[in-house]
Structure 1
């Protein structure tokens, strides 16, 4: 069984969540987990001006995802930063290239899930996750969220991301806050949850 964790990360926050989700998925018996990044659409000059070049270099060893390889997966977990309450442009462009998969029904019946990151506590995390689900539903995927059996989203002792729609993290307006342990645990739980459901669907 193949699980793909397909993400875009500009400053490393979504990357950290992606690695946690991959770790969780890999704990399910029989799961092979592939970590993939979507193609970058910004030039190195622009990334440097945005202070994102170091994070981009850190991800160079992670293979770029192709549209065709999505078909071989039994479950796909997508990770995207929030951009004004929606997925980022890089992820949107990648998904806009999946028309051939849609035409063949290649992703119908596969488990699909999403996690995200925003700068602020109420920065559109839930709308990003929910609007992303629309694309998964158009592909006929079985949408998988983050159930409340993950106890980390039940407490109010700390500021933390996470909702029944998917794991999330808060980066702070200057990007200085990396995912907390609770947020990483949520992504890990979600990864395992998706892989378990994908195994049953398969």
Structure 2
């Protein structure tokens, strides 16, 4: 079985909805086992309740868990044009995996949510890929074979760099069916690539 992890952080539920669609897409590829996990929250519960963060009962992952998967799909909100601090903190704790080259050759992908069409969506997708490349992971985006990302008839999240959604400045806009279709497409795309690479030893001895 090809093992895929969809790992995300979500404040108001938009990224969680995309994560569920990513997992659905990955599961559509025969021979794929998919786990859906979130990174630990760092905001105190009383603050979460005060600002209206969505409740989330998804199991929490630990950095050491990443080694067990053939592919990892990361989801994050956009905060000031970058990934959320909770996701960055999680990745910063994976130094042991980096030191052991434990993630080299694994497939990685990123999806994101932002408040507006020009709120740093693509910057977040691209900058989140940077630490993943330091880990030696192979980056999969959302190619234009998903034609939904090219429409000009409605607001659409996502880009060739990954799936996404636009939540609106007030956070009230739910992911559209096109956004969710893009996430399902990306999940399946990653799972197919991981399946093709399964069994290949891309973690060569250091030169």
The interval holding the TM-score normalised by the smaller chain is: over 0.9
Asked if structure 1 preserves the Cα contact closer than 8 Å seen for 2:112 and 2:158, the reply is no
Structure 1 position 113 matched with structure 2 position 114: no
The alpha carbon displacement at 1:125 in A equals 0.6
SS where residue 106 of structure 1 aligns?
coil
Runs of 4+ with >6 A deviation: none
User: Counterpart of 2:25?
Assistant: 24
The alpha carbon displacement at 1:154 in A equals 1.9
Q: Which residues of 2 match residues 79-158 of structure 1 at below 5 A?
A: 79-158=75-154
User: Counterpart of 2:166?
Assistant: 170
SS where residue 114 of structure 1 aligns?
strand
Tell me the distance in 2 between the aligned counterparts of 1:49 and 1:162: 30
Asked if structure 1 preserves the Cα contact closer than 8 Å seen for 2:39 and 2:60, the reply is yes
What count of residue pairs does the alignment treat as equivalent? 197
SS where residue 92 of structure 1 aligns?
helix
User: Counterpart of 2:186?
Assistant: 190
SS where residue 117 of structure 1 aligns?
strand
User: Counterpart of 1:49?
Assistant: 50
Tell me the distance in 2 between the aligned counterparts of 1:193 and 1:34: 16
The alpha carbon displacement at 1:66 in A equals 1.0
SS where residue 42 of structure 1 aligns?
coil
Tell me the distance in 1 between the aligned counterparts of 2:66 and 2:115: 29
Structure 1 residue ranges without an equivalent (≥5): none
Structure 2 residue ranges without an equivalent (≥5): 199-207
- Give deviations 1:38-84, integer Å, cap 9, x for gaps: 000011111112111xx12xx22x11011111101000000000001
Quote the RMSD (CA, aligned, Å). Answer: 0.6
User: Counterpart of 2:204?
Assistant: none
The alpha carbon displacement at 1:162 in A equals 1.4
User: Counterpart of 2:155?
Assistant: 159
User: Counterpart of 2:10?
Assistant: 9
